[in-house]
Structure 1
């Protein structure tokens, strides 16, 4: 009996030593501090690429519709997109080492290939795409990156945010990026119509849908994450753009020029991105480890 008791005590001692000295510490504190900060930075990189793609889409649409003044800034923005894609290589490689990667090098290479093929066609290699085709292909690229953003946030940040920050996280990862994308699509369609001097019934219907959806997303963001810095100026810009989409499109009285419309739409989109930054700052502060009190 004493031999059995000694064996049990010895086994418990071995387990205790393994847990306290051999087994690596639980990753919660490390990942909630270092790992989550890295994941937040990775999300920032994806948002930069989304922003650049959206801007290029709008400039390209206006240029294809006859706005030659958009060509130079469009080519400059193309360099930004290339840089933003290159910056994601390290993120994709790190994700590939995870059990459930949110983004793989293969997926990034595929997006890069599709992007470069589009640019080559815009430069006249092969058949140059029309306005609608260009907007559609840009939007598909944006949708891929938006899905990576949502996946990365849900898998790498959400587990450490907790239920108390669900709405804040959803606002940053989904609601505001979707708001920016709806406004970005409206910018592209509206800029091309303004450059052409005419808004077709199909374009008008699409713009009405985008305006309605953007308004709904804006109200959802306000309800889920109220009192964030940047929310008020962003909502003012968004409401102003929605008003233009509903009452001052090409073909209507007091319709803005392509340059003016693009500028107003860009101010609204950029204000939404500033709202996203405020949302991320609030999330980063909420996830920061508590500092020990002095004394």
Structure 2
């Protein structure tokens, strides 16, 4: 009787151990699958952010050109060719999403995005600076929406407790939104500087953009440990905001050359994109490490 009881207990223990082993294998596989999907999504975000930067540059260059400053034309044409070559990254990201139960965006949306870019270029010579800014901004809003959706669905939500939420939100939402604020300010400010005056409508918009940029900058800085990229970006954004308020919005007539203002704005935007790159590299490092499932503090990422 005691032998039967011992046998039963042993069999029961074996069943429990087997169930635990199966559960561990499934959890490891799930973690591995999540990490692989996150790595793909992160790479797609990086490519889309590169496209975002190029579109913003083209908006600023083409708006200055339409406002009468022909110095922008050569760089505008070069940036346009670069964007044409980069458009395939949107379709590739959509193809990666096609296997998901709830894709962030679809291939049809990616193709529509490319089609509207070609329409924008076809209409550009007959557009006003204001129309050009609006058309570019609509495209960029779609693109930043794609980046934010990928960041939330493929990085932030699956990585709760494993990767720092603040860094993910900076990488996929706050910093792209900040770069877009500055990009709009660059386009509007360059047009105003080229025209020699800032219209009342542009003045209101630029004041709003400056205030929003400063708010997003504070939120992003509060979410991470201070490091060189953060300090430099904060300095350059503050410099741009000050230039806007004194040289573009200070008097009825602007007191800065379009090319000079464009360069100051570009310095600020480039530093924000450098901050995005640092965050992306840090997230990539953590995804590739073997202890990816272990909670990670933002302070550790700040030192990478």
Indicate the TM-score class for this superposition, using the shorter chain for normalisation.
0.7 to 0.9
Name the residue aligned to 1:260.
260
Distance change in 2, residues 1:263/1:290 (3 Å): same
Post-superposition offset of 1:129: 1.4
Which residue of 2 is the match for residue 248 of structure 1? 247
Structure 1 stretch displaced more, 140-149 or 157-166: 157-166
The structural deviation recorded for 1:225 is 1.2
CA distance in 2, matches of 1:110, 1:218: 32
C-alpha displacement of 1:204: 1.3
1:51-90 alignment runs, 5 A limit: 51-90=53-92
CA distance in 1, matches of 2:129, 2:135: 10
Task: Identify if the C-alpha distance between structure 1 residues 229 and 285 changes in structure 2 by more than 3 Å, giving closer, same or farther.
Answer: farther
Report the TM-score, using the length of structure 2 for normalisation: 0.83
Matched with 1:274 is 274
**Structure 1 residue aligned with 2:157:** 159
Question: 5+ residue gaps in structure 2?
Answer: 1-7, 292-304
2:48 touches 2:89 (CA, 8 Å); kept in 1? no
TM-fit CA distance, 1:240: 0.2
CA distance in 2, matches of 1:147, 1:250: 30
**CA offsets 1:255-275 (integer angstroms, 9 cap, x no match):** 220110001101100100001
Instruction: Give the equivalent residue in structure 1 for 2:127.
Output: 129
CA deviation after TM superposition for structure 1 residue 32, in Å: 4.3
In the other structure, the counterpart of 1:149 is: 147
SS at match of 1:256: coil
Cα root mean square deviation, aligned = 2.8
Distance 1:250 1:74 in 2: 26
**Contact 2:46/2:280 (<8 A) preserved:** no
Contact 1:49 1:85 in 2 (8 A): yes
Equivalent residue of 1:75, what SS?
A: helix
The whole-number CA distance in structure 2 between the counterparts of 1:25 and 1:171 is 29
For 2:40, the equivalent position in structure 1 comes to 38
Q: Which residue of 1 aligns with 2:194?
A: 195
Query: Deviation digits for residues 9-45 of structure 1, max 9, x if unmatched?
Result: 8xx97xx69x85xx97753332344332221101001
- Counting only pairs closer than 5 Å after superposition, residues 177-192 of structure 1 correspond to structure 2 as 177-192=176-191
Structure 1 CA distance, aligned partners of 2:254 and 2:116?
Answer: 39
Alpha-carbon distance between aligned partners in 1 of 2:285 and 2:183, rounded to the nearest angstrom: 29
The TM-score, its normalising length taken from structure 1, stands at: 0.86
The residue number in structure 1 matching 2:205 is: 206
Does structure 1 conserve the Cα–Cα contact (< 8 Å) formed by 2:55 and 2:136?
A: yes
| 1:243-288 superposed Cα distances (whole Å, 9 cap, x missing partner) | 0111111774882201100011011001000011112222233334
Q: Partners in 1 of 2:194 and 2:254 — Cα distance?
A: 15
Q: Which residue of 1 aligns with 2:4?
A: none
Please state how far the C-alpha of 1:60 moved relative to its aligned partner. Answer: 0.8
Any unmatched runs of 5+ in structure 1?
A: 1-5
Closer, same or farther: CA 24–165 of 1 in aligned 2, 3 Å = closer
How big is the shift at 1:206?
1.0
